[in-house]
Structures are given as structure tokens and as C-alpha cells.
């Protein structure tokens, strides 16, 4: 029997807004809201501002003397590249294969305090692996149930935070702690939409207060509550990977085109030998973008064809509300020799959908 899904601390707010709820990563989360839907929510983020409840995302903290040094022996990214108050996109890879256990953001509070926000479905596994490897002086804590996360994303997001009196002028991939309504809010210049935006990490008991305040402050700017449907179309347009589709234990950062995340000069990290060998030999497959040149929508697992031969598979596929065409991320066989501009087809339930290989992102991100 399947275990019941967890619910966000904002579940009642979502129900009141007529949200269509769906299971995701072991949680019951909004897919879209009444009086709009995915396309309206997507457009709000591209043109104005939207707010997402992403409290399903994992939260973990690594503390103690040498916390950063410990994480640098595990994670592929080099945390010594970022200063206190900065965040880094990184990955935890399998020691033997180099496949991706999870991709996430690490927030460096100090040498002895790093906060991690992994994917919901992988949070427990990440915490387990890190805790098993940690030296006695380093503690790995699962804080999944202690915090809520709200993502305020879009061109008007800075003005919404200004209305709330929260700091909004810090750089991309940085964060500050600020007082709000009797609690502390961690204001992070991060997000998963490609747009300028912020993620607000708040104590679970303050989630409803902050959610209500964000919606009220955003009314003059056309704010919409947004669900995971719009989050997926936005991140796909931005060319951002989803773990379990574009990254997985079977897909390495080298195959996915994320070699830039890896601190290759570090003496060691999990998956070090496997990833170095794959990089030196050239990966057997590589993640590329596909842009439809006719009507049709590619979906995950659909075969990619070239000269009537299968040369890969779609990992993420959707209709782009911004471009009004089908787009996809796909793993393509390196031996096929496909490059940006190459013409391929995707088998959409027996129909060949012509598509062109492109370099993501499909929509130029403004986040930086």
C-alpha cells in the first residue's frame, strides 16, 4: 500500500484558491489553480510576478567544525569558490558510477554551517549518505519539517519584496536573513524559472502569514499563485534539468552538459574517478534541446529518430507557452554526430514530429 502524501503547511490556502492538487515527490502539491491554469500562471511569471509554494523541497543542514571541508569531499561543486552569504548549485553523485543522486543548492552560512535544499523525493537519501560519511565533529540534520519555502518569481518580484520591506537588491545566488512579522526570513536570490526572483525560507509556523502577505503585496503587480505545472514549463523553457528525468543515477553531470558544476581541480569527491574517465573518453550520450518545427508536443520517454534510426530519447518535453511550439530536452547518442541545427524527429504516438537540435535555453533567462 502506498503511504499517504505529506501536505504543505499551506494546504488550506491552496484548497481555498481552488487548486488542483497532485502527488509529487511524496507530497500533495498544487498543479494549477482555478481562474487561470498553467498558461496564465506561466505568463504571469514571464511578464509580471508569480508565487509558488515549494515547501515540498527538502531542507537539511550540515554543521560543525570543517562542515565545508567535509562537503567538499562529497559533493561535486567546490564550495571554496563561494563566500559566506553565497549559494552554489551542486550535485551529489554516486561514488561508483558518477550518476546523480540529487542536484540542489547549497547555502554557505559559514565554514561550519551549510544549508541544503535538495529535491523532495531525494532529501532522505541525500541526508542518509552524508550522515553515514560525516566525521564525528560534523552533524547532518534533516530539517524538512521545520521550514516552508515560497518562490516569488518574475520581473516584478523585486517590487513585491520592496512592498514587504524585505531586502531585494542582493546579487544572484546570494542570500540574506531579515526580520519579518516577528520571525526571520531567509531571502535567497535563487529560483527555478529562469526569471529574476527570490526564494523565501521561513519557519513552518510563519508560512501562512508570509504567503498571505506576498499575495497582498503583489496585487498591484498582477501576482498569481502558481502551481507545479507552470514551474515545469518555465524551467523547461529555461533549459533547467529535473532530477528523475534529465538527471538521475543513470545520467551523469557530464552526459547532461553540467560539467561546469564539477570542481575538477578538487583532489576528490564522490564519483571522482568515474566522471573523470567519462569526461576524458567523451560521454556516449549528451543532453540536447529540441525545438519543434511543426505542431505537436513531445513528452518524456518518446524516441528521437534520425534517418529512421533511434538516436536518443526525450527526457523532458512540453508545449512552450512563450514560443507557442513544442520543446524538449533529450539524451542523444554522441555517435549520431548531431549538433545544433541538425534535423531529427520525435515519435509522438506513431507520428513523426520534426524537430531541430538547439542549445538550451529556449527562452533567454533574466535571472542574473
Residue 130 pLDDT greater than 60, yes or no = yes
Cβ–Cβ under 8 Å, residues 93 and 65:
no
Cβ–Cβ under 8 Å, residues 237 and 221:
no
pLDDT digit string (tens) for 40-85? 999 999 999 999 999 999 999 999 999 999 999 999 999 999 999 9
Residue 2 pLDDT greater than 80, yes or no = no
Quote the cell numbers at residue 139: 552533524
- Alpha-carbon distance of 59 to 40, in angstroms, equals 30
Query: Of the candidates 99, 125, 142, which is a domain's last residue?
Result: 142
pLDDT at residue 4, rounded to an integer: 65
pLDDT digit string (tens) for 165-193? 999 999 999 999 999 999 999 999 999 99
Percent of residues in the chain assigned helix, strand, coil, to nearest 5: 25, 35, 40
Q: Exposed/middle/buried for 141, CB within 10 Å: 0-12, 13-18, 19+? A: middle
Q: Please give the helix or strand (H or E) that residue 291 lies within, else none.
A: strand 285-292
What pTM value is reported for the model?
A: 0.96
Query: Of the candidates 94, 124, 142, which is a domain's last residue?
Result: 142
Quote the cell numbers at residue 348: 509522438
Q: Is residue 266 assigned to a domain?
A: no
- Alpha-carbon distance of 213 to 16, in angstroms, equals 16
pLDDT digit string (tens) for 80-92? 999 999 999 999 9
Q: Is residue 300 assigned to a domain?
A: yes
pLDDT at residue 1, rounded to an integer: 39
105/155 same-domain check: no
- Across all residues in the chain, what is the average pLDDT? 97
332/200 same-domain check: no
pLDDT digit string (tens) for 186-211? 999 999 999 999 999 999 999 999 99
Residue 236 pLDDT greater than 50, yes or no = yes
- Alpha-carbon distance of 7 to 101, in angstroms, equals 24
Domain CATH for 312 = 2.40.30.110
Under the banding of pLDDT at 50, 70 and 90, the label for residue 367 is confident
Domain coverage including residue 202: 6-58+145-237
Q: Considering the chain, what percentage of its residues have pLDDT values greater than 90? A: 96
Q: Is residue 348 assigned to a domain?
A: yes
Domain CATH for 123 = 3.30.70.1400
Amino acid at each position: 500500500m502506498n503511504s499517504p502524501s505529506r501536505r504543505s503547511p499551506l494546504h488550506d490556502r491552496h484548497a481555498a484558491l481552488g487548486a488542483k492538487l497532485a502527488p509529487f515527490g511524496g507530497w500533495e502539491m498544487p498543479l494549477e489553480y482555478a481562474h487561470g491554469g498553467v498558461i496564465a500562471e506561466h505568463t504571469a511569471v514571464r511578464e509580471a510576478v508569480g508565487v509558488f509554494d515549494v515547501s515540498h523541497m527538502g531542507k537539511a543542514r550540515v554543521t560543525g567544525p570543517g562542515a565545508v571541508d567535509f562537503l567538499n569531499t562529497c559533493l561535486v561543486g567546490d564550495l571554496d569558490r563561494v563566500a559566506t552569504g553565497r549559494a552554489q548549485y551542486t550535485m551529489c553523485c554516486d561514488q561508483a558510477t558518477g550518476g546523480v543522486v540529487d542536484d540542489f543548492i547549497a547555502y554557505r552560512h559559514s565554514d561550519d554551517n551549510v544549508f541544503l535544499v535538495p529535491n523532495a523525493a531525494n532529501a532522505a537519501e541525500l541526508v542518509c549518505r552524508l550522515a553515514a560519511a560525516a566525521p564525528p565533529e560534523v552533524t547532518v540534520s534533516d530539517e524538512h519539517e521545520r521550514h516552508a519555502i515560497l518562490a516569488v518569481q518574475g520581473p516584478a518580484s523585486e517590487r513585491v519584496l520592496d512592498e514587504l520591506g524585505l531586502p531585494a537588491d542582493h546579487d544572484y545566488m546570494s542570500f540574506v536573513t531579515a526580520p519579518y512579522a516577528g520571525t526571520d526570513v531567509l531571502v535567497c536570490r535563487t529560483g527555478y524559472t529562469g526569471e529574476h526572483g527570490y526564494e523565501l525560507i521561513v519557519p513552518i509556523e510563519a508560512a501562512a502569514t508570509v504567503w498571505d502577505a506576498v499575495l497582498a503585496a503583489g496585487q498591484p503587480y498582477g501576482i498569481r499563485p502558481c502551481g507545479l505545472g507552470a514551474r515545469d514549463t518555465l524551467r523547461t523553457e529555461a533549459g533547467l534539468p529535473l532530477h528523475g528525468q534529465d538527471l538521475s543515477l543513470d545520467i551523469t553531470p557530464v552526459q547532461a552538459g553540467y560539467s561546469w558544476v564539477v570542481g575538477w581541480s578538487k583532489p576528490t569527491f564522490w564519483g571522482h574517478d568515474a566522471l573523470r574517465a567519462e569526461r576524458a573518453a567523451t560521454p556516449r550520450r549528451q543532453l540536447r534541446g529540441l525545438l519543434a518545427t511543426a505542431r505537436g508536443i513531445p513528452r518524456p520517454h518518446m524516441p528521437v529518430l534520425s534517418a529512421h534510426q533511434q538516436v536518443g530519447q526525450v527526457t523532458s518535453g512540453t508545449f512552450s507557452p512563450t514560443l507557442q511550439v513544442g520543446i524538449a530536452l533529450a539524451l542523444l547518442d554522441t555517435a549520431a554526430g548531431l549538433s545544433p541545427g541538425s534535423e531529427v524527429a520525435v515519435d509522438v504516438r506513431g507520428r513523426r514530429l520534426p524537430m531541430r537540435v538547439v542549445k538550451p535555453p529556449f527562452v533567454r533567462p533574466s535571472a542574473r
